[in-house]
Amino acid sequence: MADEYVLDAKEWLSYAEADLGVAEHLFNTYHPKPLEIICFHCQQAAEKAVKSIIVLKGSQGGLPKKHDLFLLLNQIKNFLKIDEKYYDYSDILSPYGVAMRYPNELMLEEHHAEKALRIGKEFVEWSKDIIFNAEDNN
């Protein structure tokens, strides 16, 4: 694995972690909780986490400028085994990347944000494991 791919992947991962940090901060400190914004940042964290893996694997054809997590996961399915739960998670988070931009598109409750945070963390941890394992194997 080329070192520049690992460095670029880590940069994408840092953006994912920042989005997740913003979502956690908003969830823990704002009242009322801005649920749409929290869920949006969780989707962004997951998207950037998956893009970090795409970058790590060399992003043949360039990095896709897509926001649908399912499509992004399909970009890497030939390079690594993807647990089916990540496809299920993509169905939950992907709408938050688009519908949130239109007020009143989503009817969210606090449990939706809690679930989005949990899923966002899983995506970030998953990509972190892949990236740091690749670095260790260099």
Domain hosting 89: range is: 3-136
Closest CA to 120 of 30, 39, 51: 39
Ranking 78-82, 88-92, 98-102 by mean pLDDT, the lowest is 98-102
Overall number of domains in the chain: 1
105: CATH: 1.20.120.330
How far is residue 60's CA from residue 9's CA, in Å, rounded to a whole number?
14
Q: What is the pLDDT of residues 37-89, one digit of tens each?
A: 999 999 999 999 999 999 998 766 567 777 889 999 998 888 899 999 999 99
Q: Is the pLDDT of residue 101 over 90?
A: no
Contact 120, 13 (CB under 8 A): no
C-alpha 67/C-alpha 116 separation (Å) is: 16
Q: What is the pTM of this model?
A: 0.91
